[in-house]
Structure 1
Amino acid sequence: MSSTTRPAVSIVIPTHTEDRWDSLVRTVACARSQNFAPAEVIVVVDHNPELYRRVRRDLAGVTVLENAYAKGVSGNRNTGAFHAQTSVVAFLDDDVIADPDWLGRLVEPFADPRVVGSGGAISPAWEFERPRWMPDEFLWAVGGSYTGMPTRTAPIRNVWSASMVVRRETFVAVGGFRVGFGKLGDRNRPEDTELCLRMSALDGGHWMYVPEAVIRHEVPASRSTFNWFLHRCYAEGRGKVQMAGLTERGDTLATERAYIWSLPRAVVRNLGAALRGRGVDHALRAGGVLAGVAAAGVGTVVETVAARRTPRTAQLEAAR
């Protein structure tokens, strides 16, 4: 798709705390300097008046909005996307750096009218060193692309909102991200996956994964601990059960089941590498896989039991 036929795109960047000010400034700078220039960069502040005033004062050349919905990143993103006037809307988190051709590559799949959205590869940018026990298959736990994802541009069930582009017409038709279902405090529910499922289901459209469209996602030291890893996997197990409870589709968790069945191979591969003298790190990563599966499994059981005790209407109401 040539630059003359690409649709105009707005980039929405949600933010909520001044603790990420330096990261936000970098994210805005890389958004504005994309080789395929966005029509508008929109920063949306989540119920933080001081930060809102600072963004308006210190970040020139961007549109600044306040979250028009309940506190949380889902409402933050919706505020920006509903404000945008372009036919395509991109989302970036406020702690990422996008390659200069990130936006142009993610817009290319929209030449196919059946494409409702796209997403790119996410490379973890560790504050310190990557933990020796962190398995490639669990990099999603720190917001990164993981082993098993496509290595070439290909259809995919869902992408992540840290690096996401949507067809605005479809996004608006499904009501955007589900407000109340997402990341807030210690809750970590997959609002991006849930959105992808609804957008695909609307008219049979599909999502595309573009691994050449790369962002680097900051991973602070606090998210590099084994305890944080276990908590994140536990939350993921609970969140996926909650997500499944919001839809009537029987295949909602088919991707997760296929992923789980791939993990024994990861354990065997890492243990084999350790036994062949390729380093103790491989043995540690095999243990990381087992620990991650166990933590997610516990979360799944806990949430399944809780869901059986809660009527479906109450589940839907709680997610709003």
Structure 2
Amino acid sequence: MTARAREPAGQDAAGARISVIICAYTHARWGDTLAAVASVRQQSLPPAQIIVVTDHNPALCGDLAATLPGVLVTPSTGQPGLSGARNTGIAMASGDIVAFLDDDAIAEPEWLKYLADGYSAGPVAGVGGLTLPRWDTRRPWWLPGEFDWVLGCSYVGLPDSAGPARVRNLFGGNASFRRSVFAAVGGFAAGIGRSGQALPLGCEETEFCIRLGQHQPGSCLLFDSRAVIWHRVQAARCRFSYFMTRCYAEGVSKAAVTAAVGAADALSAERQHAARALPRGLRRYLADAAGGDITGLGRAFATAAGLAAAASGYAAGTARRAGGRRR
């Protein structure tokens, strides 16, 4: 048997160099962050550069720098939050392609290879992959697959083809972009996404991807299910209360995205998901219940409740912004 040769560090078949950015903010994820870095170091296509950005936590920055030789550990110079940390990493990156991995995720060994391969498919601005849950406990019996995005994971309704498929936006914890696009359209918006608020907000990558498409309509974003990472799901995120809070927060976040890029683009994928994937799932769960699987009723209820919570959050976020403009 002939061993497969490793590519030159950080280069795909076309010679593009890849920088991987991991954003960290707390010692509570110390083991997760080290595991994330280790998984990047074990890629069949080694990165040219690994950057760990700490979000305004000097002690964490110092500890990681002392523990991770060969990794560029740097403090965020942007506003507190994930967008500011990512933008700091982008500014430090030297690769032609910038890839992002969550600090509580582990990448499969072929992750970077499949992300890099996508850039040979024409005017591709970014490539993302499949994010699967890595449960601390077990999957909640009531959780519909169409709502796995609540956990930061890929969900039922995304393209299920074996190869790359075109999408509107990528998920920030498993995504890559040509570094040149950030110079062209700017970085992640600081006013959108997670930044330590009580609500678990998001959508900073959604806004960026839509803005990218508006500025570069000839480019495209690809989702490749072969580029796999495993995202840790802690027990606290398996509670129904978290599910409802996260759905509401997603609605609030979508209101912010709508204000930034317009409703037509901000809600196009969401309307399609609500009109197609959710009704299919609801029918399937009710059929499960009718067939004797009582857990189907729980998934049907969660589908309706989650949609209602997201709509309520969107309405509240829209009203709040309208009130702010009148002042």
TM-score by length of 1: 0.94
Q: What percentage of residue pairs aligned between the two structures are identical?
A: 38
Say which is worse superposed, 198-207 or 19-28, in terms of deviation: 198-207
1:288 and 2:308 correspond: no
1:178 and 2:178 correspond: no
Count, aligned residues: 312
1:63 and 2:72 correspond: yes
Contact preservation (8 Å) 1:116, 1:200: no
The amino acid that maps onto 1:311 is R
The aligned counterpart of 1:317 is none
The aligned counterpart of 2:24 is 15
* 2:78 alignment partner, SS class: coil
Q: For residue 80 of structure 1, report the CA deviation from its aligned partner.
A: 0.9
State the distance in 2 between where 1:108 and 1:199 align.
Answer: 21
1:221 and 2:232 correspond: no
State the distance in 2 between where 1:167 and 1:59 align.
Answer: 26
Q: For residue 113 of structure 1, report the CA deviation from its aligned partner.
A: 4.4
State the distance in 2 between where 1:78 and 1:113 align.
Answer: 26
1:89-111 CA-to-partner distances (Å, cap 9, x unmatched) read 00001000000000110111111
Question: What's the C-alpha RMSD, in Å, of the aligned pairs?
Answer: 1.7
The aligned counterpart of 1:264 is 279
The aligned counterpart of 1:199 is 212
Contact preservation (8 Å) 1:270, 1:286: yes
The amino acid that maps onto 2:171 is W
Q: How does 1:1-320 map to 2 (within 5 A)?
A: 3-152=12-161, 153-185=164-196, 186-187=198-199, 188-204=201-217, 205-248=219-262, 250-262=264-276, 263-277=278-292, 279-311=293-325
The aligned counterpart of 2:3 is none
State the distance in 1 between where 2:190 and 2:296 align.
Answer: 41
1:192-231 CA-to-partner distances (Å, cap 9, x unmatched) read 1001111122221110000111100001111110000000
State the distance in 2 between where 1:9 and 1:39 align.
Answer: 5
* 2:266 alignment partner, SS class: coil
TM-score by length of 2: 0.92
* 2:31 alignment partner, SS class: helix
State the distance in 1 between where 2:73 and 2:266 align.
Answer: 36
* Runs of 4+ more than 6 Å apart: none
Q: For residue 248 of structure 1, report the CA deviation from its aligned partner.
A: 4.1
The amino acid that maps onto 2:115 is L
* 1:44 alignment partner, SS class: strand
